Chain A
Amino acid sequence: MYLAFASSAFQTQLAYRGQVWASLFGSAVHVFAWIAIWMSVYQDTASVDGVTLPQMVTYALIGGPVLTAWQWRRLLNLVGNSVTSGDVAIYLLKPLRYPLYLFATECGNLFYRLAVTGLPVLVIVALVYGMLPPASLFHGLLFIAFWALSFVIMFLIAALCGLLAFWLLTAFSLEWLLQGILMLLSGTHIPLWFFPDAVAAIIKLLPVAWVGYHPIAVYLGKTSVTETLIYLGLGLGWALLLAAAVSALWRRAALRITVQGG
């Protein structure tokens, strides 16, 4: 049943084919801009902090079209609007679990976004600037696990913020806050190794680091085998913790909807 939701979300997206070109173009411009920034940084030097330009281009390609393909803002607003407007009641009428329903739908959305914007942009830009392969087979395989984890953690954070809108009555401010945090700390744009060591050490342990930084660091082979496995474990721990938080918050929201009528 939840698989059906994923495929229907995919089909729903197909209904808006007009958006494809806009998001394709937007995503490509975004990546080009970041690559341009890194190229100007590397104009006079071959490596910064032991990182080479091809590595940074690869970084931008994974952090851009691959890891930010999924639109977390849509989920946050969807959840926020449906809990504040009470539309969520229709999901309470059906024999299904709302958070799982959302997760299934967003999986469908993720695959759609990857298929129509993420991968095409990756291929086009990689053909222009080149892209490094994963550091090793181990790192390549683990990257896939980290990539899935990145989506799961991002999904849970967005769902959590959406549910919080139920008490704050607006999802808008949370969206901006989250965007700022992600931009700065997740490492999808700025690698954490450019931060002061002490700061980076802390950020590396925050859940947002698994959204961008850790998957890319693994791909580029910046982490040893043991480190990689430790971070995988920690990431799974965060995912479980966040899932528990989403579940608890959803239960409270559902209780409040049924007791107070929203």
Chain B
Amino acid sequence: MSTIIEARAVSKRFRQHRRFPGLRGAIRTLFTAEYSEVAAVTDVSYAISQGEAVGYLGPNGAGKSTMIKMLTGILVPTSGAVSVLGRTPHRERMTNAREIGVVFGQRSQLWWDLPVRDSFELHRRIYGIADARFTANLDYLSDLLDLGPFLDRAVRQLSLGQRMRAEIVMALLHDPKILFLDEPTIGLDVVAKDAVRRFLTRVNRERGTTIILTTHDLQDIEQICPRLIMVDQSRLIFDGDLRNLRATLGSRRRLTLEFGADPGSLTLRTALLTADEGLRKHYLLEREDISLVDVLTELGNGYDLKDIAFEEPNIEEVIRTFYQGRDAARAAG
């Protein structure tokens, strides 16, 4: 598979006019030209192949949107280089724009006062889409996302879920090779989220459209994207298969042992005792290389073991643990 998106040591810093607090500060702000630099993206590199679906995950302010804006050509990297379909997006903005589709969860691209259908028609004119292709795409896409009932309604009368579905369909009408979505499920209810996720998965599989989406909702990534890029405080901290994330960030699997008779205090070398309820004891397996078998081997046959519950943490927990650990480290350091 060929690489269609590449980021090489990309950094983006924003210069912000320094403001001083209070009334006196406000006056001072007027007459000073002090700037502070904010790093939105620091030294991020990755390559994405055609047909991939990549989730770009990170907390607020981690630099997700900044990265999408650089890939779509509306922001220029401070250093490093991005390449999309072999081009530098901001230098060939117009050509790049014809081959990508972009959806912003927070910013509508539909014409507010016009019916959805008319927005699509304008889109057809802007991108010069041939009639037959346009009709075929519109039928296929609006059928999948069930736009029929509100195609003729003005955009301002739509619910957020309906509007977002229309935004996504519009972004795909010109058969873009890559679809960028910046928090497409933000503010949607469970049903709408699910519809959007299933749709994106289908578009990725059936049409081979490469999908890059930013989110802070892990379920988006679990359902749509086999590959995850995780950023935090402007830096890339993970790039790979979602299933490897546990191993990379360190997982803490939980083990609960239930005994027929209370074995008393039972400390193990392979697992950490976290709670003791007598007959039921809770352990934590902190190391990745220790398996359930190791724990049971250490335990031996000497106990009246009734039941075992072994729990892999979900990704959300893994990530939360990671962030908490980072915050704790920062507080300590």
Contacts and interface: CB of A to CB of B under 8 A. Distances in A.
Contacts of B72: 93
Contacts of A5: 122
A93 B122 contact: no
Kindly name the residue among B14, B75, B128, B154 whose own CB sees the greatest number of chain A CB atoms within 10 A. Answer: B75
B118 A92 contact: no
A65 B76 CA distance: 46
Interface in B21-45: 40
A48 B15 CA distance: 61
A258 B114 contact: no
Nearest to A13: B113
Contacts of A95: 94-95, 97-98, 126-127
B107 interface: yes
Contacts of B109: 90, 93
B107 A87 contact: yes
Contacts of B98: 95
B93 interface: yes
Contact of B114 (A11, A93, A94, A261): A11
B90 interface: yes
Query: Does more than half of chain B's interface fall in helix, strand or loop, or is it mixed?
Result: mixed
Query: Does more than half of chain A's interface fall in helix, strand or loop, or is it mixed?
Result: helix
A126 interface: no
A15 interface: yes
Nearest to B118: A8
Interface in B86-129: 90, 93-95, 97-98, 102, 104, 107, 109, 111, 113-114, 118, 121-122, 125-128
A225 B75 CA distance: 52
A260 interface: yes
Contacts of A1: 125-126, 128
A94 B118 CA distance: 17
A95 B190 CA distance: 34
Interface of B: 14-15, 40, 66, 69, 72-76, 90, 93-95, 97-98, 102, 104, 107, 109, 111, 113-114, 118, 121-122, 125-128, 154
